[in-house]
Structure 1
Amino acid sequence: MTDRPIVLFDGVCNLCNGFVNFLLDHDSEGRLRFAALQSAAGQELLARHGLRDIDSVVLVEGGRAYTKSAAAIRIAEHLGWPYRVARVARLLPTDVRDWLYDRIAANRYDWFGKREGCRVPDEDVSDRFLS
């Protein structure tokens, strides 16, 4: 697919789409690629990494898949300063970080809403999306 990091996201989640917009705006080098979890590319990457029943952000990088808080921290590191400071969250036990991540993920549709269909990327960033 690509040797660049790929962010898999829930294509119908407003919070996830807002996160993708944030990444597009702040990834000045354009390193990150994107695919909706619901897309063929997203499903292929999930299967390749043995991930099932995933419905929130995943980062695929260097033959490895990061999930939950590990994915969020690793993605922030790709953005550089000041977002890279998110790595201090690794000082917290993974169980604590993932518990917080899971609380947000479980309530994201209630808090932020849900789209009828997956995101269609704008023409100016469509080359960064896998389908």
Structure 2
Amino acid sequence: MKIFAIRLKPNQDLKDNLRNFAKQNHLQSGFILTAVGSLKQATLRFANQDNSQLLTEKFEIVSLVGTLSLHGIHLHISLSDKNGKTIGGHLLDGCLISTTAEIVIGTSQDFIFMRTLDAETGYQELEIKHT
């Protein structure tokens, strides 16, 4: 396993930067090991919903999980507000860093994570290829 550590700064878009990181580093099978930080704006898609939700308040990132490769990314995030209430969903573009995001990414040489259209779900789903 190879490990990368990155820090995103204020006003950077979380998903866009992770997508670009995967492409720039030619990641074939990346996954989030750990992440902490804060957002000043979050755009999420909640479970069983077609539309996104824009949230414009400060949040702590309490969890970020998923896969990323140069072929596509699929990430879910959990956020905590000023009262400790936690929400989570599918990470979309438009999640802007408040102070920082410290992210550690692992990658395996044994797999390639592809994204292909699944006729059953209608989504670009993970296709795992062994190297």
Note whether the superposition's TM-score is higher than 0.5: no
TM-score interval, normalised by the smaller of the two chains? under 0.3
TM-score normalised to structure 2 length: 0.26
Higher helix share: 1
Determine which structure has the larger strand proportion and give its number. 2
- Say which one has the larger Rg: 2
Q: Provide the TM-score with structure 1 as the length reference.
A: 0.26
